[in-house]
Amino acid sequence: MAIWSRKLKKWTFGDHLCQIFPVIFYGNVAVSLLSMVCITINRYILIACHNIYIQLYRRKWIICQLAFVWIVSFLLLLPPLLGIWGEMGLDEKTFSCTILKKNGKSIKKALFLTGFLLPCFVIITSYTCIYVKVIQQRKLIKSHREFTGPVKDHTNAVKKGQEDNRLTLMMMTIFICFLVCFLPLMLANVVDDERNTTHPWLHIVASVMAWASSVINPIVYAASNRNYRIAYMKFLGSIKFWEKPISTLASRNSKEFCHTVRSSPPNNGTTHHDFKGCENHSL
């Protein structure tokens, strides 16, 4: 839409859609970042406080977390949508619908600084704590092995630590990709907006990079973690218009996934009841 409007030098989709578009766009930006915050906190609790992980991440609490993320993300956009603090409309310099100033005031700067930098700080802090905890666990395992020697429990602990490290690395990769995609958008809407949009092309490029995040994240998930690849294949295999070979491959991968779940250490925060259908597969 941004490129098309820039090419035509006007917004051709109507005034109502021009007000709805920034709500959907910026709302989903907030949902993406807050979801990453929740996943990061999930990783920290799993690694550092796994004793309370099972109690904290039950179905009802996960639903509450998801509802909180979506509700808060779009509630932040109510002031400009209702015209209380800024307004939604067309920026004639970029030919894009965004948050505009009303009576010389706009929530855009406060929204981006609070909704972007604060969650980024939380994510960076959480990953730092995860890294410190992993280092402490490695030293503890190494010290314990010097006295008792290698046993099966120690091997399982090392494997679990390696899996945790891979998942943490995956989330850090996603976070870096998120920064690359959305940092230009924040700078364009905060820094350049204060200069009365001196570089309209920067806003177009920033918007395109932000949309690219929706394509990059699934690729990073699939490339970084085998369980995600199995889940993707299982999902694709459940779609009726796919051919039978894909469904068969999804079924085989599902069995492998169930074997992975069952062979995982019992203190990793996952129970067999969390994965419906695994009981139907024989190992």
Domain membership of residue 1 (yes or no) is: no
| Tokens, residue 217 | 């994240």
The H-or-E segment that residue 75 falls in is helix 59-75
Q: Residue 235 sits in a domain of what CATH number?
A: 1.20.1070.10
Q: How many CB atoms lie within 10 A of CB 200?
A: 16
| Ranges in the chain, pLDDT < 50 | 242, 245-250, 257, 260-277, 279-283
DSSP state of 275: S
Question: Which among 103, 107, 138 is positioned nearest to 23, based on CA atoms?
Answer: 107
User: 188 lies in which domain range?
Assistant: 7-144+162-240
- Characterize 82-97 residue by residue with b for buried, 16 or more Cβ atoms within 10 angstroms of its Cβ, and e for exposed: eeebbbbbbbeebbbb
Domain membership of residue 251 (yes or no) is: no
Report the pLDDT value the prediction gives residue 202, as an integer from 0 to 100. Answer: 76
Report the pLDDT value the prediction gives residue 250, as an integer from 0 to 100. Answer: 47
Report the pLDDT value the prediction gives residue 74, as an integer from 0 to 100. Answer: 93
- Give yes or no for a contact between 258 and 278, defined as CB atoms under 8 angstroms apart: yes
Domain membership of residue 53 (yes or no) is: yes
Domain membership of residue 150 (yes or no) is: no
Domain membership of residue 265 (yes or no) is: no
Report the pLDDT value the prediction gives residue 282, as an integer from 0 to 100. Answer: 41
Length of the chain: 283
The H-or-E segment that residue 101 falls in is none
Report the pLDDT value the prediction gives residue 279, as an integer from 0 to 100. Answer: 46
- The total of structural domains in the chain comes to 1
Q: How many CB atoms lie within 10 A of CB 79?
A: 18
Report the pLDDT value the prediction gives residue 156, as an integer from 0 to 100. Answer: 63
Between the two ends of the chain, the Cα-to-Cα distance in Å is 50
Chain Cα centroid distance, residue 205: 22
- Give yes or no for a contact between 221 and 228, defined as CB atoms under 8 angstroms apart: yes
Report the pLDDT value the prediction gives residue 2, as an integer from 0 to 100. Answer: 56
Residues 46-97 pLDDT 10s: 877 878 888 888 989 999 999 999 999 999 899 988 888 888 888 777 767 7
Q: Is the Cα torsion angle 14, 17, 19, 21 positive or negative in sign?
A: negative
Domain membership of residue 234 (yes or no) is: yes
Domain membership of residue 22 (yes or no) is: yes
Rounded CA separation 278/276 (Å): 6
Report yes or no on whether pTM surpasses 0.75: no
- Give yes or no for a contact between 199 and 192, defined as CB atoms under 8 angstroms apart: yes
Rounded CA separation 7/30 (Å): 28
Domain membership of residue 86 (yes or no) is: yes
